[in-house]
Amino acid sequence: MNVYDLIFYLFAAITLLSAFFVVSTRNIVHAAFYLIFTFFGVAGIYVLLGADFVAIVQIIVYIGGILILLLFGVMLTNKITSVQIKSGAFQTIPAAIGVGLFAGILGAVLIRTSWKTIEPIIPESTTTGLGYLLMNEYVIVFELLGILLLIALIGAASMARK
Amino acid sequence: MTEIGLNHFLIVSTVLFSLGIFGIVTRKNAVMVLMGIELVLNAANINFIAFAKYGGFGYQGQLVALFVIVLAAAEAAIALAIVLNIYKTFSTVDVDQIDTLKD
């Protein structure tokens, strides 16, 4: 077992354990903080897969943006001074059975499938390649996403102000 | 113990996806449902990047992952605005109590 394998198992364990705590803890603020570790673990997996730029974007956008937004959502929708921030759960056992079956079947299919893989290329910095693609083949998608994000943020601000 | 390959990453993303679905279907609080959706989107992103590396698609898989991250940011902003409006109208964000379109 080499270092790559060890680091993979470390990040996979961080991701999956904290994701399990996210969906199982009763306290919403704790769940939001466990979500930080999940996102960090996923960013580590991206780095292992040779996607350094996506990993940095993951940390900046998810941990710096989306998670803070979620925490604001928690703070604004719960009277945190008066009641405990708890979230109930319902139908846990049927849901666990169904999701477990789903994961088992999907995992079995994934393992049995013989994927047509190539020998992975030695990772190098991906920023140049991604920037080149974004400005050439995918420039329309890039511009449309910018417009979509602008519209979404204006819409969210005007909806939340009402 | 085999060498780390495509299957390991796919299994991790499968488990992450299942946990996200579990969070979506069991949680009552709307913000917790959003957290489940984020887990599902992250699982999909792991798949995109794993196939980009092992399937020989170059940078295109990573590019789609970037697009997914942008869409997740837009989705989170819109969803939280909706949740705030629901809280103002119904004084609760429990998704099983919100069963009317009009107050």
Nearest Cα residue in chain B from A151: B74
| Amino acid A77: pLDDT | 79
Are the CB atoms for B8 and B50 separated by under 8 Å? no
- Chain B contact present for A76, CB below 8 A: yes
Alpha carbons A66 and A32: distance in angstroms, whole number: 10
Above pLDDT 90, what percent of chain A? 46
| Amino acid A60: pLDDT | 93
Higher pLDDT, A105 or A126: A105
Q: What is the mean pLDDT of residues B55-81?
A: 90
Question: B93 φ, ψ to 5°?
Answer: -120, 20
A81 pLDDT exceeds 70?
no
| B36 sits in which H/E element | helix B30-54
Are the CB atoms for B28 and A90 separated by under 8 Å? yes
A132 pLDDT exceeds 60?
yes
Predicted confidence band of residue A53 (pLDDT cuts 50, 70, 90): very high
Q: How far is CA A61 from the centre of its chain?
A: 10
Residue (of B34, B35, B27) closest to B94 by Cα position: B27
Instruction: Tell which of A28, A72, A117, A151 to mutate to test the B interface (max B CBs under 10 Å).
Output: A117
- Chain B contact present for A141, CB below 8 A: yes
Predicted confidence band of residue A37 (pLDDT cuts 50, 70, 90): very high
Angstroms from B84 CA to nearest CA on chain A = 6
- Chain A contact present for B36, CB below 8 A: yes
At A93, list the tokens.
């056992």
A95 vs A24, A31, B14, B21, B36, CA distance in Å? 12, 19, 16, 9, 14
- Chain A contact present for B89, CB below 8 A: no
| Amino acid A80: pLDDT | 57
**Which residues in A lie closer than 8 A to residue B23 (C-beta atoms)?**
22-23
CB pairs under 8 A between A and B: 226
Predicted confidence band of residue A126 (pLDDT cuts 50, 70, 90): confident
* Per-chain mean pLDDT for chain A: 87
DSSP A75-112: HHHS-TTTS--B--B-SHHHHHHHHHHHHHHHHHHHHH
A18 pLDDT exceeds 90?
yes
ipTM of the complex: 0.89
Inter-chain residue contact A107 with B27, CB threshold 8 Å: no
Nearest Cα residue in chain B from A120: B54
Nearest Cα residue in chain A from B56: A118
| Amino acid B29: pLDDT | 85
B95 pLDDT exceeds 60?
yes
- Chain B contact present for A156, CB below 8 A: yes
